A and B are shown apart, each in its own frame.
Chain A
Amino acid sequence: MIKYLSEDRCIQCNLCVKVCPTSVFDKVADHFPTISRQEDCQTCFLCEAYCPVDALYVSPMLDNTNEPLTVTPEESAMLGSYRQAIGWGKGRSSTASLDMTHILRDLVEDDAGPRS
């Protein structure tokens, strides 16, 4: 679940408000967005993927509504790690071109498809 929005990093572009499929954030005029409905977060990490300044941290835990909306130093070091992993952002190229799923599939499939 979404755990943190860095007020220092946020540039108020509101992309997270726009791209979140479950409308977790709310836009606030002249202010950074608020995490208004944390419990609706589906832990899909897509807000992080779209955030241009790595201001968001999504915890992999499904239930962290009781935890404070802040990050530990270890978590802070991982801000932006998903965006980096998929190769999104300025000066990077998409890691989709490094996808090796076909190699894994060849280990469990034969020429006609999945072995039954």
Chain B
Amino acid sequence: MGSGLKTFESDVLVLGGGPAGTWAAYTAASQGVKVVLADKGYCGSSGATAASGTNLWHVRSEPARREASIRRFLSRGNGLANRRWLEILYDHTKMGTEQLIELGYPFPLDEHGRPISRNLQGPEYMRLMRKTVRKAGVVILDHSPALKLITGERGVSGAAGVNLETGEEWSVHAKAVIIATGGCAFLSRALGCNVLTGDGYLMAAEAGAVLSGMEFSNIYGFSTEFSSCTKNFLYHWATFYREDNSVITNTDKRALAIEMQRAPVYARIDKASDAIRIAMRRSQPNFFLSFDRLGKDPFRERFPITLRLEGTVRGTGGINLVDDNCATNVPGLYAAGDAATREFVAGATTGGGHINASWAICSGRISGSAAADYALGTEAAAMRTQLHFRFTERHSAGKPARSMDMPSIVKSIQEEVIPYDKNLFRTETSMRASLARLNDLWKTIRLNEHDPNDVRALVRSREAASMIATARWMYTSALERKESRGMHQHDDYPAQDNGALYRVLISGVDSIRTQREPQSGGPDRS
């Protein structure tokens, strides 16, 4: 590994520079504390949002509309969403969008000249968030994946990682750490998701954090077969076809997956009027960019589609939160965005679309504020235990004895999580078999050694370990949930068990433990 080591001291360290991370960093810095933000790629272009765009919860000031909307999302939350969190989410979405208007996001205007703050274009939004974070005095470390949390007697006290550009190691000593590293899409090539390999889950779990809802991690999104464009929304106006041009009438994703297992499936956006077509082009520029570049017209010509695994990015599992402050069970450690569980607001149904984007703003604002308060109340002197933590200490110097072929490891992981017959259609037998192979992969990756000078190899190996860990938690939790609920469709237990409402908590990296946390249930529980 490179010779350099850069050390930083801050009150709050934010890992991840997508929506949740930038909201967290901005909010913390606005409270007057020192903030460092480290992103694996580039804060402003990293992650699922920057590459496309997101819808926000449609929030309004009238109390009756707020109530109706909260009730709607409670009923969609499979008994796992709760009213208190949905109220928090609604109100923070409102405050966050008001802030975005002040910050200058160019929302379209209605006929009275008022901003329509319901949707965000990814490149614009994240460019603005980077600018906002920098203005607030946050130190940004780009191309700086975190590899490990630094822990002391009093909990988490920073993180260490590498800089992919310089090859140097870095460590940030902080009083509080917010994990906002996004979810895990298993390198399935969903748009913008290649940096989302579950790194934050593994770091948190190694520090003793509990995860939750990891069985709700098998969302598949519509995508053109040839490109990365995972855009579900436009398929509302699509007709689906078989090779022989016969129309597929059952457009449920599971039904379409069965069709795809047999033969190619095609789509054509042929239910859109001219006015809708114009609206689509204005709203989703990169969807049409792909077609334009290939000289194809998605309104007139059918095109091959696939269902791409989006894992916990559009699923709802993640690091468990123990209070309204987005705190985890580890002192000083907070989680926000897709890194955190979204069961409280989306239950077992996808958090994709408005809920996740609103959640990123909400959990970013809450965790940023809480971490700043925590940092202000924490004495720095007591936290100096491991300031000069160096990741290389864990690796032997010299030529590695067992250096693995990462592409083949990644392929082995994907073979267990991507196929529809393993993860979309879940059975006890198939999940146990996958889990056994993933456990072997885990043992293998633990023995992997790196060329000490190759930081990219080190990061790749960590990403693979994070994906294996995520997949093991996914199937272990799924085996624990002996019913079908939301996206977790268990073919051995096809019915939802309304007599037993619980969340599945999971922890541990080498040996994994699950625990059912009973929920009081009912859509109106408060």
Contact of B227 among A61, A86, A96, A111 (CB under 8 A): A61
From A22, A104, A116, contact of B283 by CB (8 A): A104
Q: Which of A18, A42, A96 contacts B107 (CB 8 A)?
A: A96
B-chain residues with CB within 8 Å of residue A93 when the two chains form the complex: 106
B46 an interface residue at 8 Å Cβ cutoff?
A: yes
With known contacts A23-B41, A88-B123, A112-B68, A105–B55 Cβ distance under 8 A: yes
User: Which of B7-15, B91-99, B286-294, B513-521 lies at the interface?
Assistant: B286-294
Q: Decide yes or no whether A113 CB sits under 8 A from chain B.
A: yes
Chain A, range 63-78, C-beta contacts under 8 Å to B: 74-75, 78
A47-91, CB < 8 A from B: 49-50, 59-62, 74-75, 78, 81-82, 85-86, 88
Number of A-B contacts (CB under 8 A): 170
Assembly CA distance A62 to B285 (angstroms): 18
Q: Mark A87-116, 1 if CB is under 8 A from B, else 0.
A: 010000111111111111101110111101
* Most chain B beta carbons < 10 A, residue from A20, A21, A74, A95: A21
| Chief secondary structure at chain B's binding surface | mixed
Number of interface residues of B (CB under 8 A): 70
Over the window 9-50 of chain A, the binary record of Cβ atoms lying under 8 Å from chain B Cβ atoms (1 yes, 0 no) is: 000000001111111000100000000000010111110011
Q: Are A100 and B108 in contact (CB under 8 A)?
A: yes
**With A20-B41, A21-B46, A97-B109 in contact, do A43 and B280 touch (Cβ < 8 Å)?**
no
Q: Which residues of B contact A94 (CB under 8 A)?
A: 106, 121, 124
Taking CB atoms, residues of chain B closer than 8 Å to A22 are 41, 194-195
Residues B189 and A62 in contact, CB atoms below 8 Å apart: yes
What residues of chain B lie closer than 8 Å to A75, measured between beta carbons? 293
CA distance A27 to B194 in the complex (A): 22
- Residues 47-74 of B, flagged 1 when their CB comes within 8 A of A and 0 if not, give 1001101010110000001001101110
A27 to B390, CA, bound (A): 27
Closest chain B CB from A108 CB (angstroms): 5
Interface size bracket, A side = 35 or more
A98 pairs with B142, CB closer than 8 A: no
Give chain A residues whose Cβ lies under 8 Å from the Cβ of B125: 96
CB distance from A35 to the nearest CB of B (A): 16
Interface string of B445-461 (1 = CB under 8 A from A): 00000000000100000
Binary contact track B217-248/A, C-beta < 8 Å → 1, others 0: 00000000011110001001000000000000
Q: Are A62 and B228 also in contact (CB < 8 A) when A21-B195, A46-B45 are?
A: yes
Q: Are B71 and A112 in contact (CB under 8 A)?
A: yes
Q: Is the CB of A23 within 8 A of B51?
A: no
Additional A-B contacts beyond A21-B194, A105-B55, A112-B72 (15; CB < 8 A)? A21-B40, A21-B46, A21-B192, A42-B189, A43-B189, A60-B290, A61-B227, A82-B285, A86-B121, A95-B282, A98-B282, A104-B280, A107-B236, A112-B65, A114-B76
